[in-house]
């Protein structure tokens, strides 16, 4: 669709160089542009703004997702320079800020999977909750209490706003701070289920995840794993988890969440712990 919209602005050769994947989040479009086409970024932005009817702003993604807050730098190409927008997923409404707090529309299948696993009455610790996507979808689907922690103040503030928007005050609790500190101070042995969606640093935070999880509770352990064969990625992450965990654990399952590079995958291992 991106290439089609740009037919008049780029030669077919240039069009082929464009990375066809781009994200549309509410009325914002975020596009990645290869170095060879950077001189044409303005015309790319303006064409997209004209061609995609719902678009209000087109941004160029000028950096990878990086730093503690897992955010990215965006540069306005066309339209309004406002990085906040409203996004809808499975009947929930979210205000997101695509530059100042982590957000990815590409995790929606995983969010639905987790929401379906939750049992009525569960307490859940979401250690790296961002603007509350997983927490709110879970609490909208099942009656449960979710402690929704994030270290980024912008993410925690938006999470609070999203809790109100979805009428989940009291069911989802937004807490700003470092997950290990918050757990130590307020959430030891509190959760039936713990989410660890910071795959780059799961091993570092595993002890805190175990701390907040009750005996017999479940941890969703996300990580990044190299695998020559895609079919082996899940098994390899299970083996990795079993090597690093200090507690007795029963593996309930594992899967690839998404590819993050060549032969490199984000995976999740679901485990039931005994302590």
Ligand X SMILES: C[S@@+](CC[C@H](N)C(=O)[O-])C[C@H]1O[C@@H](n2cnc3c(N)ncnc32)[C@H](O)[C@@H]1O
Please report, as ranges, the residues that interact with ligand X according to CB under 6 A. Answer: 68-70, 102-103, 107, 128-130, 133-134, 149-152, 155, 178-179, 197-198
Please state the closest distance from residue 47 (CB atom) to ligand X, in A: 30
10 Å CB burial of residue 121 (0-12, 13-18, 19+) is exposed
Please state the closest distance from residue 135 (CB atom) to ligand X, in A: 8
Please state the closest distance from residue 111 (CB atom) to ligand X, in A: 7
Place of tokens 């060549």: 262
> Measured at CB, which residue is nearest to ligand X?
130
Strands 145-150 and 191-196 turn out to be: unpaired
Of residues 129 and 139, the one with the C-beta less far from ligand X: 129
DSSP character string of 222-240:
EEEEE-SSGGGHHHHHHHH
Of residues 77 and 268, the one with the C-beta less far from ligand X: 268
Of residues 15 and 180, the one with the C-beta less far from ligand X: 180
Rounded CA gap, 95 and 88, in Å?
A: 9
| Cα torsion angle, 187, 188, 191, 196, sign | positive
Please state the closest distance from residue 181 (CB atom) to ligand X, in A: 8
Of residues 98 and 197, the one with the C-beta less far from ligand X: 197
Please state the closest distance from residue 21 (CB atom) to ligand X, in A: 18
Of residues 34 and 153, the one with the C-beta less far from ligand X: 153
φ, ψ (nearest 5 deg) of residue 202: -60, -40
Rounded CA gap, 271 and 258, in Å?
A: 19
């Amino acid at each position: 669709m991106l290439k089609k919209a740009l037919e008049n602005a780029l030669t077919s050769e240039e069009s082929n160089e464009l990375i066809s994947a781009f994200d549309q989040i509410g009325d914002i479009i975020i596009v990645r542009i290869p170095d060879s086409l950077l001189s044409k970024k303005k015309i790319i932005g303006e064409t997209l703004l004209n061609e995609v009817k719902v678009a209000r702003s087109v941004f160029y993604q000028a950096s990878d997702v990086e730093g503690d807050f897992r955010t990215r730098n965006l540069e306005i190409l066309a339209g309004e320079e406002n990085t906040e927008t409203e996004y809808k997923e499975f009947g929930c409404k979210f205000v997101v800020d695509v530059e100042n707090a982590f957000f990815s529309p590409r995790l929606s299948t995983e969010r639905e999977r987790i929401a379906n696993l939750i049992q009525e009455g569960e307490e859940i610790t979401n250690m790296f909750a961002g603007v509350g996507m997983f927490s709110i979808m879970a609490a909208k689907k099942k009656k449960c209490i979710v402690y929704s922690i994030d270290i980024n103040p912008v993410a925690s503030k938006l999470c609070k706003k999203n809790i109100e928007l979805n009428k989940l005050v009291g069911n989802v609790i937004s807490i700003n701070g470092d997950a290990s500190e918050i757990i130590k101070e307020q959430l030891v042995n509190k959760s039936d289920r713990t989410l660890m969606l910071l795959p780059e640093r799961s091993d570092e935070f595993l002890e805190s995840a175990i701390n907040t999880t009750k005996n017999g509770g479940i941890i969703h352990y996300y990580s990044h794993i190299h695998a020559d064969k895609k079919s082996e990625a899940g098994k390899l992450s299970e083996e990795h988890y079993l090597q690093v965990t200090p507690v007795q654990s029963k593996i309930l399952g594992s899967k690839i969440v998404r590819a993050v590079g060549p032969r490199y995958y984000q995976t999740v291992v679901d485990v039931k712990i005994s302590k």
